[in-house]
Amino acid sequence: MKTRRLRLRIGASLVAAAVAALASVGGVSAAGTQQATLVVTAPATANLGDQVTVTAKLTSAAGALVKETVQFAIPTTFLNGSGDMVVAQAVTDGQGQASATFEARSTGALQLKGVFAGDNTYAPVTAAASSTMTVTGNQQLYVPDIGIALRGLNTTPTGQATGFAHWFLSGWPIGAVLTLIWSMYATAVYFMSRVVAEGERATEVQS
């Protein structure tokens, strides 16, 4: 009986070790069980298009949680679905504070949320701001880009080239070549018209 119990214990230990090894190889880590506290702060009002600064404080019974990522999300609706959209994220400092900025791109009452995904020690936690943020205004945030963009003429060339490389990568060489071609074409048409005119004049003199 003792031998059988010993075998069962050894077998259970081997199974636990195998599960831990597979989790380590696969990059899977067990979620923490300790509870963290997340307090989110957002301004009460904002104007459409403003850069809004939001903060969060992540702590536990042991003190501030340092170098942890906190995401900030707002509710959004797309077609027939709805959910939370992450608009910013930040890493907590030595006091557990995380601060981020995002652009207010929709009007109405927004209930900002802070999300901590958890780690090996602490469980995930989500917290809403203490009050809703009301966004007002009618500013046009999306401006259509109308017209033709010519690199080097009305837009900057790609890269950070300067000097001759900047000029070579721009649209000026192509424009110069096209101008030369059309100039040669116009010159050829002019001389051909002169030849035709001289031929007609010679014909009139002979007749």
pLDDT in tens, 56-68: 999 999 999 999 9
Output the pLDDT for position 60.
Answer: 93
Helix, strand or coil for residue 22?
A: helix
CATH number corresponding to 36-136: 2.60.40.2470
pLDDT averaged over every residue in the chain:
75
The residue type of 124 is P
What is the CA 206 to chain-centroid distance, rounded?
80
pLDDT greater at residue 172 or residue 36: 36
Kindly report the number of other CB atoms within 10 A of residue 107's CB atom: 15
The neighbouring-strand residues paired with 38 are 58
Q: In this prediction, what percent of the chain has a pLDDT beyond 70?
A: 67
Judge whether residue 165 has pLDDT over 70: no
Output the pLDDT for position 20.
Answer: 46
How many Å apart are CA 201 and CA 19, to the nearest integer?
104
Q: pLDDT for 107-161, tens place per residue?
A: 888 889 999 999 999 999 999 998 888 888 887 666 665 555 555 554 555 544 4
Judge whether residue 79 has pLDDT over 70: yes
How many Å apart are CA 74 and CA 88, to the nearest integer?
10
Sketch the domain layout of the chain as residue ranges.
Answer: 36-136, 144-207
How many Å apart are CA 20 and CA 70, to the nearest integer?
28
The residue type of 79 is L
Judge whether residue 5 has pLDDT over 60: no
Output the pLDDT for position 123.
Answer: 94
**pTM of the full structure:** 0.53
Residue 31's pLDDT band (cuts 50, 70, 90): low
Q: In this prediction, what percent of the chain has a pLDDT beyond 90?
A: 28
The neighbouring-strand residues paired with 41 are 55
